[in-house]
Amino acid sequence: MLNGDRSPFEEGRPEPDGSNQAAEDGRLGIEEAWEDVLRQQELVRKRAETKRQKAEDQETLWREFMETERREIKRRQDGQLARHLGAPLPGELPAQLRQLAEHDQTQAKRGLVALMSGGNTVYKPLEDLQPEDMPARIAANRLRITWLKERRDEWLGRGETSA
């Protein structure tokens, strides 16, 4: 092995200066391969950690959502809508408002919450809600709040339009 030639047995062995003949001909040397394996393992670990964190965050979000819904249904059972409706507006019958409030209170006592999807409202027991129901539940709640605010604005005289 003259002039720095290496035998086939020495070909994969690193050079004293850290270079590797195998790396020169397009193949990874042992050090590079090991570093690549370690990088891949770190990526797998980071992905698993990200997935675990996302699942944990989703669980926390779901738990908080359900706690909020349970508090809200308790308020509805206690007659929240009747308090928000207040006095009848011109053209409204007090009996209609009372019936609306009683209906909401009865649904709440049964544990039912509204879900809004595609312009349709359906009712589902609170304890049967699934995480995929969240958008429909949020939409129904947003519609209720908007309606109550618009009604309040009408009551305050802000809903009138200029001619």
DSSP secondary structure letters along 79-103: THHHHHH-SPPTT--HHHHHHHHHH
The predicted-structure confidence for 57-91, as pLDDT tens digits, reads as follows: 999 999 999 999 999 999 999 999 999 998 888 88
**Residue 158: per-residue pLDDT:** 52
Q: Which of 74, 77, 94 has its CA nearest to residue 86? A: 94
> How many other C-beta atoms can be found within 10 angstroms of the C-beta atom of residue 21?
15
Contacts for 163 with CB less than 8 Å, ≥ 6 apart: none
Backbone angles phi, psi at 113, to 5 degrees: -125, 155
Contacts for 74 with CB less than 8 Å, ≥ 6 apart: 108
Can you tell me the distance from the alpha carbon of 79 to that of 16, in angstroms, rounded to the nearest whole number?
84
SS3 of 132, please?
Answer: helix
- With a cut of 70, list the residues of the chain below it in pLDDT: 1-28, 157-163
**Residue 162: per-residue pLDDT:** 46
**Residue 152: per-residue pLDDT:** 84
Contacts for 23 with CB less than 8 Å, ≥ 6 apart: 29, 32
Residue whose structure tokens are 């928000």 = 84
**Residue 22: per-residue pLDDT:** 47
